[in-house]
Structure 1
Amino acid sequence: MSAKREGEVWDPMIPSDQDISRARAVPDTPQTRSPAYRLAYDDADFLCRDDLRPVRLQLELLKPEKVLQERSINSTVVLFGGARIPEPGGAAWAAKNETQRRNLEANARYYEEARAFARLCSQYAATTYYRDFIVVTGGGPGVMEAGNRGATDVGAPSIGLNIVLPHEQAPNGYVTPELCLNFHYFAIRKMHFLMRARVVAVFPGGFGTMDELFEALTLIQTGRMQRIPILLFGKEFWSSAFNLDYLAEQGTISPGDVELFDFVDSADEAWKRVEAFYEL
């Protein structure tokens, strides 16, 4: 048995996975069948107890961090946007009436813009040996699929941060399998979206998209996060979805807060903003 671990660091302790194998290989007796006998870290029932929530939060923060570290990923480009926006020519499956169907089909152009923007980011990422400007999405359908698909178009890896929902949401087929992560806690997932973010691109979406957008804006507004480009695709959509000028007029935000983001209408325009901001 080797006493070395990854990176050739000396460690004489028995690996934990080896002890799991040993513990499972003991004779079957009333004692070994008891839940109390299970190793704590190999006991799903124990780890899912209500009072183990702090441990689960820590694990959910740590696991994706280790996965990205091991792939030497330093920075990302985050694409937020609606799961319901179809590919151009695709069915507006989420529409509940004719008006929604018509609007979703009109907004399908943002699928193509997200795909094109992800291609541009991924082409630049190739010059960093895929360490920087790696595309990350929520891993689902709609705009998220478009982002991962754009990276795949140019042979680049991309990240998907999926989350367990009451309705089934399987990862889209364009996420790099080794970078397809799943979450229970929305809060930890949102932390991972922003912990490496160099750019946040926000496409039309619903409550989830707005939650993610305002999380980023709040962190920058309060000085908890460095200023980065926040690009809102579709000025007409976002100007109708919320009115920050009104909030500034009411005094509930500072006048300068409306400058924390930029409206863009195309992938090319968005990438030019990124190039100018970082002097690429």
Structure 2
Amino acid sequence: MDKKSPLKARNFPSAQDEAATVRLPSRYAGPGSSYGMAYADTEFLLREELRPVRMQLELMKPELIQQDQGVESTIVIFGSARFKAREEAEAMLASAQDAGHPDAIRHAERMVANVRYYEEARRFAELVTRDADALGEPVIITTGGGPGIMEAGNRGAYDAGGRSMGMSIHLPFEEDPNPYITPELCFQFHYFAIRKMHFLMRAVALVSFPGGFGTMDELFEVLTLAQTRKIRRRPIVLFGRAFWDRVVNFEALADEGVISHADLGLIHYAESAEEAWDIIKRTYRDDDPELTARQNRAA
């Protein structure tokens, strides 16, 4: 903290100062004692009745830290936690072949085939990070902080020498956050709802790679909020059209009348890192003549 002149010094000690210096009297230092600062009492904060307070804290902590770190605009990458880097997928296949287990071999073959998504996510994040000012203001990559496509996104930004953010969720089988996240921007959440809100609060675009229930949950929340105009519309890019056409028939939803055909315009498709980034840049260029001029000058 910056030193202040005597005129501007604090009139009251900070909560941090008091929490660090408080000394529990020996008579009241044992288990079951209620003595102590409420904000430093973990057992009290974890009471069922304090859920609203915990939710507020979980909303505020990432918000305040992002403000401190100067994070204003992000591009969010969704996708499967199960996809592997090439060396890991190929090692998995070799192990399955050595063991001679047909099911394991088929699964490992799919992992090898899906390596391209990991590689494209990594390239996309690297491309965005190297070209971070292309939209007229700095953007940083944000992921769910875990393995798979999330790791690839953070890894690409790391490869480019830039910052990236990870928003991990506490799970019973959780792994540590992937090692490529900027430490100051590595968060852990308890509430899925608060985490998903933070994904969107600064997002200027979202790119969803193939994934399972978690990816679908995140994607459909974004689509619903955009469809109902609860958030401003922004580019939503689905990577790998063959996958998406196979697992979600958006056209059928429109044909059945449960969404409008206009809602299909919320979605863009890409097959390469360059195409995904071009879609995002083109969307903002078309909406902003000044950005068009800046991008043309840069080209």
Q: Same fold (TM over 0.5)?
A: yes
1:227 aligned to 2:226? Answer: no
Q: 1:77, 1:197 within 8 Å by CA — same for their partners in 2?
A: yes
How does 1:95-134 map onto structure 2 within 5 Å? 97-125=104-132, 132-134=138-140
Whichever residue aligns with residue 154 of structure 1, its letter is A
The CA deviation at 1:51 is 0.7
Does residue 194 (structure 1) correspond to residue 227 (structure 2)? The answer is: no
Note the C-alpha offset of 1:4. Answer: 5.0
Q: 1:27-42, aligned counterparts within 5 Å?
A: 27-29=25-27, 31-33=28-30, 34-42=32-40
User: SS at 1:83's partner residue?
Assistant: coil
The 8 Å contact of residues 264 and 270 in structure 1, kept in 2 or not, is answered as yes
Counterpart of 2:143 (choices 137, 140, 159) is 137
Structure 1 unaligned segments of length 5 or more: list them: none
Q: Is contact 1:126-1:156 (8 Å) kept? A: no
Give 1:179's aligned amino acid.
Answer: L
| Cα contact 1:83–1:144 (8 A) shared by 2 | yes
Find out whether 1:158 has 2:171 as its counterpart.
no
1:214 alignment partner in structure 2: 220
User: Which residue of the other structure, out of 177, 181, 184, is the alignment partner of 1:171?
Assistant: 177
What displacement does 1:127 show? 7.2
Larger Rg: 2
Work out whether residues 4 and 12 of structure 1, in 8 Å CA contact, stay in contact via their aligned partners in 2: no
Greater per-residue helix proportion: 2
Q: What 5-or-longer segments of structure 2 have no aligned partner?
A: 97-102, 286-294
The aligned counterpart of 1:18 is 17
Q: TM-score of the superposition, structure 1-length normalised? A: 0.91
In 1, the alpha carbon distance for the partners of 2:254 and 2:123 equals: 33
In structure 2, what is the equivalent of residue 205 of structure 1? Answer: 211
CA-based RMSD: 2.4
Paired residues of 1:3 and 1:13 also in contact (CA < 8 A): no
Aligned residues: 274
Is the alpha carbon distance of 1:250 and 1:72 closer, same or farther for their aligned partners in structure 2, counting shifts above 3 Å?
same
Aligned residues of 2:89 and 2:111 also touching (Cα < 8 A): no
Tell me which residue corresponds to 1:278: 284
Residues 211-220 or 93-102, more deviating: 93-102
